[in-house]
Copies of this chain bind each other. A is one copy, B any other.
Amino acid sequence: MAGKPILYSYFRSSCSWRVRIALAVKGIDYEYVAVNLLKSEQLGEKYRSVNLTSQVPSMEVDGMVLTQSNAIIEYLDETREGPSLLPKDPKKRFLARQLSQIISCGIQPLQNLSVLRYLGDERKVEWAQKVITGGFEAFETLVDQSSGKYCVGDEVTMADLCLVPQVYNANRFKVDMSKYPAISRINAALLELDAFKVAHPSKQPDCPEDLR
């Protein structure tokens, strides 16, 4: 399959955003197909003909349809040229995966759209704040020990790809970020990088004009 990968993405989905950063860091050209989660397009026939699991993001590449953002990122990392998204040293690889999972298993799933809808408008902000601050306390403690310029030393890793979208969500839910100085410093450094700039929600074709 020699065609360009196709990424099915929603501009503000943090899992889609992680994969967009991976593609940009590794310099992989791809086609962007927008799936509007607010209109539940992921549940429609058109998207389900690509991906029966109705999850975003998904990627058509190498004759397969991939879902689960961190699994996609590791697949791209193992099969494509470009800067590695995990360190070579097993202990540092562990640290990058541990930090990634604090976000991808411990925070993001608990504050995604379907959970917030279930809780209802009254409770959703309180809940999102509780989940994010709980996870960020753990993340801050660990990243304070592992970080250089970025989460693990001075090279961008999968942990950084998870962190930036999560900080964006923390800001949307008005989490007090002054309690997390290491996270804030690393996030600011990452936002300076070209790969993080082009992958930002505000730069995606499906971002509404008023959020650009």
Contact = CB atoms under 8 A, between A and B. Distances in A.
Interface stretch (A25-33, A69-77, A165-173, A193-201): A69-77
- How many copies of this chain? 2
Interface in A24-69: 52-55, 62, 64, 66-68
Contacts of A91: 62, 64, 75
Contact of A98 (B71, B110, B141): B71
Contact of A74 (B52, B72, B97, B110): B97
Interface of A is mostly: helix
A145 to B, nearest CB: 10
Given A64-B91, A106-B109, 8 more contacts: A53-B137, A70-B101, A74-B93, A75-B90, A78-B90, A79-B90, A105-B109, A110-B115
8 contacts: A52-B141, A53-B141, A68-B106, A70-B97, A79-B90, A104-B105, A105-B105, A109-B109
Interface of A: 52-55, 62, 64, 66-68, 70-72, 74-75, 78-79, 90-91, 93-94, 97-98, 100-102, 104-106, 108-110, 115, 118, 127, 137-138, 141-142
